[in-house]
């Protein structure tokens, strides 16, 4: 620039900031395994969606008629999981906190409207069953208790932390809050043509909402207290995929109550991006250790089959390179000393 000079990047430096320990990022949700055997086991917060294609085909048109009788069992369960999550947060003393569920399955406004109507119908039926037809040993109690014991109780045990301890709840603790929790939940549709809004500041007692939408939800809009996401929108772009991950963030006192319902294919795409991001950050650390700068180090992003790092118009001077270990002799020059890492190294040597 004529007045302010050259950019800091790539001439001077690039520095990677480590996320806070209480921030839940993609590695927590999807895990990581790369060529260096640097693994991070995913948290038990994801559920496969395998029953959506008859109801909402991945490549549908804007005039699709979404059949109510094909409403997927996975979305049926996701709504129940959200009710349980809201009730559990109330049992933990977070009754005035905002609570949100995301339903992001299509970009077409007409299709979103149909989905919103079906989700509202499903919630209405569930509300009536809990408010007026709930009994010990009844069908709805058995359904909710099954989901709680299968998904939530194991997650609480697995995600305990001394920094942010989680109160362990029996189903009876959650059950006592079900009527209050489900009674507050609303369904809202957020897109460029809808009249619904998400002004959390207008709800001092906390807003509980199932939010149906598309592009407007994927960028810029924050869903406060997001705990359950039902997500079916696939994309080939690394950057777009990460931007649409609204479930990353801080979840104080309820990280074990979060759930993502999505397809195995979308989860695999996220894992590919997680690995590529981790390897890029490792390159940053190596560059810093060697005292280099981006200008002379050469940064790279791992490519995954069937995906693109970003739009071609943004890559500009980027080029593709093949990388291999042929004709090289990698050497280990430093060793991890943490007990868990040492134990894993020994197990690898002995296997």
The verdict on residue 233 lying in a domain is yes
Domain-embedded: residue 159? yes
Query: In this predicted structure, what is the pLDDT of residue 34?
Result: 47
Does residue 38 register a pLDDT over 60? Answer: no
DSSP 90-114: HHTT-TTS-EEEEEE--S-HHHHHH
Band (35; pLDDT cuts 50, 70, 90): very low
Output the CA torsion sign for 111, 113, 118, 123. positive
Identify whether 351 is part of a domain: no
The answer, yes or no, to whether residue 218 has pLDDT greater than 70, is no
Band (pLDDT 50/70/90 cuts) for residue 220 is low
- Is residue 145 in some structural domain? yes
pLDDT tens column, 240-288: 667 667 778 889 999 999 999 999 988 888 787 777 777 777 888 888 8
CA angle 175, 179, 184 (to 5 degrees): 130
334 three-state secondary structure? coil
Q: Does residue 111 lie within any of the structural domains?
A: yes
314 falls within a domain: no
Query: What is the pLDDT at residue 39?
Result: 55
Give 267's contacts (C-beta < 8 A, 6+ positions apart). Answer: 30, 46, 48
Q: Is residue 310 part of a domain?
A: no
Q: Residue 26 has what pLDDT?
A: 77
Residue/partner pairs of 156-160 with CB below 8 Å, 24 or more apart: 156/256, 158/43, 158/44, 158/256, 159/43, 159/44, 159/255, 159/256
The residues, ordered by sequence, that sit 6+ positions from 260 with a Cβ below 8 Å of its Cβ are 29, 45, 46, 47, 228, 229, 231, 247
Note down the domain range covering 263. 23-267
Domain count for the chain, please give it. 1
Residue 133 in this model has a pLDDT that exceeds 70: yes
Q: In what order do the strands lie in the sheet with 186-190?
A: 46-48, 259-262, 226-231, 99-104, 208-213, 186-190
* pTM, to two decimals: 0.81
Report yes or no on 338 lying in a domain. no
Rounded to the nearest 10 degrees, the angle between the axes of helix 73-91 and helix 139-147 is 80
């Amino acid at each position: 620039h004529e007045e302010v000079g050259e950019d800091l990047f790539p001439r001077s430096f690039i520095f990677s900031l480590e996320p806070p320990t209480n921030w839940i990022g993609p590695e927590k949700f999807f895990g990581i395994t790369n060529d260096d055997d640097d693994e991070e086991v995913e948290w038990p917060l994801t559920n496969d969606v395998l029953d959506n294609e008859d109801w909402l085909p991945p490549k549908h048109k804007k005039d699709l008629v979404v059949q109510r009788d094909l409403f997927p069992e996975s979305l049926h369960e996701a709504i129940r999981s959200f009710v349980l999550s809201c009730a559990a947060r109330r049992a933990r003393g977070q009754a005035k906190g905002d609570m949100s569920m995301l339903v992001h399955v299509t970009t077409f406004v007409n299709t979103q409207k149909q989905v919103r109507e079906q989700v509202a119908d499903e919630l209405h039926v569930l509300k009536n069953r809990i408010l007026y037809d709930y009994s010990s040993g009844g069908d709805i109690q058995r359904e909710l208790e099954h989901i709680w014991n299968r998904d939530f109780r194991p997650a609480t045990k697995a995600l305990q932390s001394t920094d942010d301890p989680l109160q362990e709840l029996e189903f009876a603790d959650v059950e006592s809050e079900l009527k209050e929790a489900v009674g507050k939940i609303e369904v809202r549709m957020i897109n460029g043509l809808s009249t619904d809004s998400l002004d959390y500041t207008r709800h001092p007692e906390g807003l509980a909402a199932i939010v149906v939408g598309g592009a407007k939800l994927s960028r810029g809009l924050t869903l406060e207290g997001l705990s359950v996401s039902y997500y079916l929108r696939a994309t080939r772009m690394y950057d777009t995929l990460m931007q649409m991950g609204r479930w990353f963030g801080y979840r104080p006192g309820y990280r074990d109550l979060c759930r993502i319902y999505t397809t195995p294919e979308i989860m695999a795409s996220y894992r590919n991006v997680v690995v590529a991001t981790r390897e890029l950050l490792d390159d940053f650390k190596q560059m810093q250790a060697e005292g280099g700068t981006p200008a002379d180090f050469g940064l790279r992003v791992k490519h995954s089959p069937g995906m693109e790092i970003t739009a071609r118009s943004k890559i500009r001077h980027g080029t593709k390179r093949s990388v291999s270990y042929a004709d090289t002799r990698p050497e280990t020059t430093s060793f991890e000393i943490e007990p868990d890492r040492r134990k894993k190294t020994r197990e690898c040597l002995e296997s």
